[in-house]
Structure 1
Amino acid sequence: IRELDNLIKARFVEMFGDPIQNPKGWEVVTIGDIVTEVRYGTSKPAVEGGKYPYLRMNNLTADGHLDLNDLKYIDIPDDEIEKCVVRKGDVLFNRTNSIELVGKTAVFDLPEDMIIAGYIIRVRLTEKMLPEVLSQYMNLEALKGILRGMAKGAVNQANINAQELQSIKVYIPEMELQKQFVKMKEQIYKSKFDTMTFAPIYA
């Protein structure tokens, strides 16, 4: 999978240009300009036999995937579900972790709703940017460097809050090109997984 991730990162920069230099001259905004909602997850603990799958920071990989191998469960009161439920198309951002891993970002692309833990920020986007494009952007090495520089706190417990996340600058490629990138990414992973008997990590 790492080889595929590197290929996709290279194709991303090829299609859209370096994120810092923006050689293609795309419109530049902040993440806060392209979100409809930004929320933290719940701080409630996981429980044995809980009703809802519970995504924690270790379920997001450093390369922007969901890893459900160690999935816990949780019970949440009905009136709190909307605050911390994650649905297909949401972007997930790991706000607290080690300095190397803080800022891990992935798209939730599963059909089943899950609950997110408090160390994850749920981001819902406007129509200006596709979730897969923002997630890939945030997982570029240049952006990881920015995130590490922004993180506050100890080396083993670095933190980036929702306001800081929304202040990050991002370019907005034309939508047709964004759609082409998502299609290309899906085809690359599909061709790989078609040759495997199972894949525990979801792209």
Structure 2
Amino acid sequence: MFGDPVSNPMGWERKSMKSLMKIVRGGSPRPIKNFLGGKNPWIKIGDATKGDDIYIYSTKEHIIDEGLKKTRLLPEGSLIFANCGVSLGFARIIKFQGCIHDGWLAFLEFDENVIDKVFLLKALNSVTKYFRDTAPDGTQPNLNTKIMGDYQIILPPIDIQRKFVDSLKIIRTAKRPDTNCPTKKRGLV
């Protein structure tokens, strides 16, 4: 539908991520063991990698209020992106207010009349290899807010982005085990 997002054969407009949104990095209270046990969800990579869903619904760990001073608390619906190590290069949307550590970036304050959140997530997830190749060498690959901010993302017209997202919703619904979908019965999903 969109072609390769890196080579952009469709000729879609491109804009830097930083021109479309605010990009922030998480923070980690240390040592973390001193801050565990509270009521504030603490989003770890493991919470985002169970299943193939684009959403995170819960966390295994929580931190105490004192830890909020050293982390980044995000509102429900925030889009986050794993920015380092072997997990670098995937995005998720959180379905609750929660805290992210410094292994996450978050994309905030963007206009969903310009770029759809789920489209953005899928676009980012489709270029994982690009981000891994772009990350500076070191003990582990690591993307900072500048590298991510400079990334030129394709911007198809918003109506096309939304049609794409609507198609994803149909597919996600049909894949659910509790769905009685005619397409599923015919083996098309």
- Look up the match of 1:131: 117
Cα distance in 2 for partners of 1:158, 1:25 equals 30
Contact 1:89–1:131 (CA<8 Å) still a contact in 2?
no
Cα distance in 1 for partners of 2:142, 2:53 equals 18
Cα distance in 2 for partners of 1:87, 1:194 equals 30
Cα distance in 1 for partners of 2:171, 2:10 equals 25
The correspondence of residues 39-50 of structure 1 with structure 2, limited to 5 A, is: 39-44=24-29, 45=32, 47-50=35-38
Contact 1:64–1:104 (CA<8 Å) still a contact in 2?
no
1:129 Cα deviation (Å)? 0.6
1:67/1:89 CA distance change after superposition, 3 Å: closer
Contact 1:90–1:107 (CA<8 Å) still a contact in 2?
yes
- Look up the match of 1:89: 77
Tell me whether 83-92 or 114-123 shows the greater mean CA deviation. 83-92
Contact 2:76–2:98 (CA<8 Å) still a contact in 1?
no
Tell me whether 178-187 or 39-48 shows the greater mean CA deviation. 39-48
Cα distance in 1 for partners of 2:62, 2:99 equals 9
Deviation by residue 1:45-74 (Cα, 9 ceiling, x = unmatched)? 264431111101232339673456762101
Contact 2:56–2:93 (CA<8 Å) still a contact in 1?
no
Cα distance in 2 for partners of 1:150, 1:64 equals 26
The correspondence of residues 146-165 of structure 1 with structure 2, limited to 5 A, is: 146-154=130-138, 157-165=140-148
Q: Any gaps of 5 or more consecutive residues in structure 2?
A: 180-189
State yes or no: 1:57 paired with 2:45.
yes
1:164 Cα deviation (Å)? 0.4
1:96/1:20 CA distance change after superposition, 3 Å: closer
Deviation by residue 1:55-113 (Cα, 9 ceiling, x = unmatched)? 012323396734567621012349749x7222333211111212xx31221222x1x21
Contact 1:92–1:123 (CA<8 Å) still a contact in 2?
yes
**Corresponding residue SS for 1:21:** coil
Contact 2:14–2:152 (CA<8 Å) still a contact in 1?
yes
Cα distance in 1 for partners of 2:174, 2:11 equals 33
Cα distance in 1 for partners of 2:45, 2:3 equals 30
1:49/1:191 CA distance change after superposition, 3 Å: same
Cα distance in 1 for partners of 2:53, 2:14 equals 23
1:64/1:40 CA distance change after superposition, 3 Å: farther
State yes or no: 1:18 paired with 2:4.
yes
Matched residue type, 1:135? L
**Corresponding residue SS for 1:158:** coil
Contact 1:41–1:84 (CA<8 Å) still a contact in 2?
yes
The alignment covers a number of residue pairs equal to 173
**Corresponding residue SS for 1:170:** strand
- Look up the match of 1:11: none
Matched residue type, 2:23? V
Greater gyration radius: 2
Residue 71 of structure 1: which of 49, 54, 60 is its match? 60
